Amino acid sequence: MKRAFTILSMVIFGGMLVYNCEPDPDSLGEQLFLDGAAEGNEVPYDVIAYNIDNNDSIRSDASKLGLATLGAFSESQFGMQKAAYYTQVRLPAYDPDFGASAEVDSVVLVIKPTYASDSLTTTTDENYVYPDGAVPAKKVFNRYPATKYGRTKANGGNLTVKVQEVTEFLNGYSDIAYSNKSYAANEELGSKVFNGYVSSVAITKDSDNTSLFSSEVGFRIPLSASFFKTKIIDKKGQPELKDVSSFIRYFRGLKISVTDTDGYLVQFSPSAVELIMYYKSLDTGATVKTQKKYAFSIGNGNAHIGNYTYNRDNSVVKSANSAINTVTGDAKLFAQGMGGNSIGIRFPKATIDQLKALYQTNKAAIISAKIRMYTSVDSKNLRKPTILTILQKDIDRTKNPAQITTNFTEDLLKLSSTPNFAYIKAYNLDKDQAYYDFTVTQSVKNIVESSGNYVEDNDKYFRVDLGNFLSSSTGSTLAGYQYTSRPFALDRAVFVGSDPANANKIQLRVTYGTK
Question: What are the CA-CA distances from residue 249 to residues 192, 240, 246 (Å)?
Answer: 27, 8, 5
Q: Has residue 10 got a pLDDT over 50?
A: no
Q: How far apart are the first and last CA of the chain?
A: 58
- pLDDT per position as a tens digit, 460-513: 899 999 999 998 877 778 899 999 999 999 999 999 999 999 999 999 999 988
For residue 455, what pLDDT is reported?
64
Dist CA 351 CA 461 (whole Å): 13
- pLDDT per position as a tens digit, 274-318: 999 999 999 988 889 999 999 999 988 999 999 999 999 999 999
For residue 452, what pLDDT is reported?
67
Collapsing DSSP to helix, strand or coil, 374 comes out as strand
Going along 224-312, which residue ranges are E strands?
Answer: 254-258, 264-268, 274-282, 290-295, 304-311
- pLDDT per position as a tens digit, 431-455: 999 999 999 999 999 888 877 666 6
- pLDDT per position as a tens digit, 104-148: 999 999 999 999 999 999 999 999 999 888 999 999 999 999 999
Q: Has residue 210 got a pLDDT over 50?
A: yes
Q: Has residue 2 got a pLDDT over 80?
A: no
Dist CA 207 CA 484 (whole Å): 52
What is the strand order of the sheet 274-282 is part of? 121-130, 135-145, 197-205, 211-223, 100-111, 274-282, 290-295
Mean pLDDT over 366-392 rounds to 95
Task: State the pLDDT confidence band at 400, using cuts at 50, 70 and 90.
Answer: confident
Q: Please work out, in degrees rounded to the nearest 5, the angle formed at the alpha carbon of residue 337 by the alpha carbons of 499 and 498.
A: 10
Residues 6 or more apart in contact with residue 488 via CB below 8 angstroms: 60, 64, 65, 66, 67, 68, 69, 267, 306, 337, 338
For residue 39, what pLDDT is reported?
58
Element (H, E) at 404: strand 403-408
Q: Has residue 22 got a pLDDT over 50?
A: no
Q: Has residue 25 got a pLDDT over 70?
A: no
